[in-house]
């Protein structure tokens, strides 16, 4: 199946009454599968904090990804940012993490809460070496990622959660670690884990965050390719070839669309067994084909998938990002957005006669496919597409 892959996701909550978040996450994926990630927390809140964190994260991430030494990165930030007249400082706090495709991680932290490494459900202490860099006290750690490891980076809005609301003094890093251990599940994506932590802060703040709050999760996980067939080929003469190529792929297989399901079942010398349950009244029932992991209806299921996918990729949505539904769209979201690290799309251009008179045409389907591709790519999934 190939080497393990890096996965990341974050959630940012604005301080109550602020349109802009004073925290900023910048991520630069490497061509080899690694990445450079920065979580910056600008001084104060609102516009000024947003500018400080945006500049810090952008400069730091760009230079670090290019291999510039850390001290030079810090000097550049200190020389680039405007100085706060009240406090005489010219920077935001930050956490910088670089990870290679082999899972070799390097972490530099400046005044942010210490990162949490979760391994097999337990918090593993990081060895933090103190270093003065560009006149700033930094803490440096090396992380040798193992499969399933998840690192949580956070702004101080996490530690402040609940002050004056549900807790007297917020929750300290020890309590945050314990909560993360309880919530950890190897099946959760990085984005879901970030949302679990951010949602806890949102609840502690009584849904009115007293500070900008961001959680960035980075996970090293096993790869999984999902192969998805959408629609029948433009020519029935291609049915056998397309299904043979589709079935030859490694990983999970999904068939989306009534006509495509019939084509696949016929070529596999089996049949589509219809389901009759409606867990969601807006999504048609799923079907079953031997050798296929999920068989679902096409256009309506895709439409619903895109709705819940937009919510999943939103970095400002405080809800926990889980797909618990048994309907076809929720199951499709779980497979594509959570489980897959790579997606192969087999898109048929055949006309579905059942759609005549319903205002559903190939353009509707292809537009949905393009939106799906963009969402998958935004989640750092490799996407390949073939049209037939």
Q: Which of 176, 200, 221 is the last residue of a domain?
A: 221
Show the beta-strand stretches assigned E in 161-311. Answer: 213-221, 225-230, 252-256, 273-274, 287-288, 294-296
If one counts the domains in the chain, the total is: 2
Question: Kind of pairing, strands 129-133 and 136-144?
Answer: antiparallel
Residue 316, by phi and psi: left (phi above 0), alpha (psi -120 to 50) or beta? alpha
Cβ 51 vs Cβ 34: under 8 Å? no
Show the beta-strand stretches assigned E in 269-377. Answer: 273-274, 287-288, 294-296, 342-347
CA distance 379 to 240: 33
Are 132 and 10 in a shared domain?
Answer: yes
Are 306 and 268 in a shared domain?
Answer: yes
Are 313 and 211 in a shared domain?
Answer: no
Are 212 and 150 in a shared domain?
Answer: yes
Are 188 and 237 in a shared domain?
Answer: no
Which pLDDT score, from 0 to 100, does residue 88 have? 56
Q: Which of 192, 221, 250 is the last residue of a domain?
A: 221
Are 210 and 75 in a shared domain?
Answer: yes
Are 194 and 236 in a shared domain?
Answer: no
Are 152 and 55 in a shared domain?
Answer: yes
Are 266 and 121 in a shared domain?
Answer: no
Are 130 and 232 in a shared domain?
Answer: no
Task: Give the CATH number of the domain where residue 43 resides.
Answer: 3.60.40.10
Which pLDDT score, from 0 to 100, does residue 17 have? 94
Confidence of residue 273 (pLDDT cuts 50, 70, 90): very high
| pLDDT tens by residue, 320-364 | 999 989 999 999 999 999 999 999 999 998 866 555 444 555 688
Are 116 and 173 in a shared domain?
Answer: yes
Which pLDDT score, from 0 to 100, does residue 85 have? 62
Cβ 170 vs Cβ 161: under 8 Å? yes
Cβ 154 vs Cβ 216: under 8 Å? yes
| pLDDT tens by residue, 99-145 | 999 999 999 999 999 999 999 999 999 999 999 887 788 999 999 99
Quote the domain boundaries for residue 75.
5-221
Show the beta-strand stretches assigned E in 290-360. Answer: 294-296, 342-347
Per the listing, tokens 């202490």 go with 125
For the cut 80, the answer to whether the pLDDT of residue 1 exceeds it is no
Q: Which of 184, 204, 221 is the last residue of a domain?
A: 221
Mean pLDDT, the chain, whole residue set: 91
Are 214 and 281 in a shared domain?
Answer: no
């Amino acid at each position: 199946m190939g080497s393990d892959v890096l996965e990341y996701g974050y959630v940012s909550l604005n301080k109550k009454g602020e349109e802009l978040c004073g925290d900023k996450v910048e991520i630069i994926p490497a061509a080899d599968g690694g990445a450079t990630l920065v979580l910056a927390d600008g001084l104060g809140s609102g516009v000024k904090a947003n500018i400080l964190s945006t500049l810090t994260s952008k400069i730091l991430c760009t230079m670090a990804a290019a291999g510039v030494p850390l001290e030079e990165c810090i000097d550049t930030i200190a020389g680039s940012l405007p100085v706060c007249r009240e406090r005489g400082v010219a920077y935001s706090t930050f956490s910088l993490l670089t990870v290679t495709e082999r899972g070799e991680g390097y972490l530099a932290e400046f005044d942010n809460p210490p990162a949490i490494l979760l391994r097999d459900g337990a918090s593993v202490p990081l060895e933090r070496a103190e270093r003065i860099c560009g006149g700033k006290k930094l803490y440096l750690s090396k992380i040798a990622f193992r499969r399933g490891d998840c690192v949580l980076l956070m702004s101080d809005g996490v530690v402040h959660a609940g002050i004056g609301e549900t807790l007297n003094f917020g929750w300290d890093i020890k309590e945050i670690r314990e909560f993360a251990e309880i919530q950890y599940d190897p099946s959760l994506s990085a984005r879901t884990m970030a949302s679990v932590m951010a949602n806890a802060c949102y609840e502690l703040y009584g849904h009115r965050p007293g500070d900008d709050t961001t959680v960035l999760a980075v996970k090293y996980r096993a790869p999984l390719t999902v192969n998805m067939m959408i629609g029948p080929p433009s020519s029935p003469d291609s049915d056998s070839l397309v299904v043979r190529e589709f079935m030859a792929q490694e990983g999970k297989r999904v068939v989306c669309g009534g006509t495509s399901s019939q084509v696949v079942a016929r070529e596999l010398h089996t049949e589509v067994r219809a389901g009759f349950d409606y867990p969601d009244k807006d999504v048609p029932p799923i079907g079953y084909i031997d050798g296929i992991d999920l068989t679902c209806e096409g256009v309506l299921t895709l439409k619903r998938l895109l709705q819940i996918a937009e919510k999943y990729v939103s970095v400002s949505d405080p809800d926990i990002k889980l797909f618990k539904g048994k309907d076809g769209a929720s199951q499709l979201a779980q497979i594509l957005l959570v489980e897959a690290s790579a997606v192969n799309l087999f898109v048929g251009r055949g006309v579905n006669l059942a759609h005549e008179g319903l205002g559903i045409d190939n353009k509707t389907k292809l537009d949905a496919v393009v939106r799906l591709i963009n969402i998958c790519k935004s989640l750092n999934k490799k996407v390949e597409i073939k049209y037939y």
